[in-house]
Amino acid sequence: TTALDVTIQAQVLDLMEEINHDMGTAIVIVTHDLALAGDFCDNIAVMYAGQIVECGPADAIMEDPLHPYTRGLLLSMPRLGSRQPLHAISGEVPDLTSVG
C-alpha cells in the first residue's frame, strides 16, 4: 500500500476485508505502516533483522509492546498535531549476512 494514495489504499483494504469475510481466508500483510497494521489486523508480528521479535493481538502490541524494538517503532510514528520530534531508534544496523 506504500505507493497508493489514501483513497486507493482504502479501496484495496476494503476489498481485502470483503474477500476475508466472504471466503473465510486469512490475509497476511507485510507493511512498515504500523498505524495501518493496528487498524486492519487482528494479530501483528514485528520483525527485526529477519526474525520475529514480538507477536500477539494487535491491540496488545499497539498499546503495551514488550520488545524494545517494537516500542521504538511505535515511538517513531508521527502523531497528528504533535510538535515533538520523532523518536530515533538507537544502535547499529545488524550485519544481515551473518543472520541465519
Question: What backbone phi and psi angles, to 5 degrees, belong to 74?
Answer: -65, -40
pLDDT one-digit tens code per residue, 20-51: 999 999 999 999 888 899 999 999 999 998 89
Indicate the SS3 state at residue 72: helix
H or E element in which residue 75 lies: helix 68-75
Strands (E), the chain: 43-48, 51-57
pTM, full prediction? 0.80
pLDDT one-digit tens code per residue, 50-69: 899 999 999 999 999 999 99
Query: Domain segments of the chain: what residues?
Result: 1-30, 32-90
Q: Which among 58, 56, 55, 15 has a CA at the least distance from the CA of 34?
A: 58
Q: Say how far apart CA 51 and CA 38 lie, in whole Å.
A: 20
Strands (E), 6-86: 43-48, 51-57
